[in-house]
Amino acid sequence: MARLVSVALREAPAALDTPVYDAAKRLFDVVGALVGIAALLVLTPFVALAIRLDSPGPVFYVARRLGRGGEPLRVLKFRTMDMDAEGREAHLRGVAARAGVEFKAPTDPRITRVGRWLRRSSIDELPQVFAVLMGHMSIVGPRPVYAEEFTRYEDELAVR
């Protein structure tokens, strides 16, 4: 896992640091984001209804993350956890399978029934296409991390 993280957080190899590559990647991001927005327009009413029927609370979840170069970024996702999920994380961190840099519990009780399906299908990530369209994220690239998570990375894994 650490090797994947280190590859994701380090700067791109020099061969990929060209204007042509940057333009092609940006074109891919814009086209992909537009396709994603079309899918989002179709799916949102159904996903929103499912979330609202499954658990109380808002349909969307806004997370503060760190993007490219450690810049702060607000990430919009469909909500997949109970409303008190953040308050219950500390307790779960002690019993998690991977409680290192990236916290993941194998069967996280905070995830709602609809949330499990949204995560398995990655539909919960779909609202992020707006950040891709604005250039804050890329379809292919490192995922934005929580600031708390970023501080746990070893120095050699940090963005340089």
Tens digits of residue pLDDT in 127-150:
999 999 998 888 987 778 877 777
Rounded to two decimals, the pTM is 0.73
- pLDDT score, position 107: 75
Burial class (CB in 10 A: 0-12, 13-18, 19+), 137: buried
Tens digits of residue pLDDT in 43-97:
999 999 999 999 999 999 998 888 777 788 899 999 999 887 676 666 666 655 5
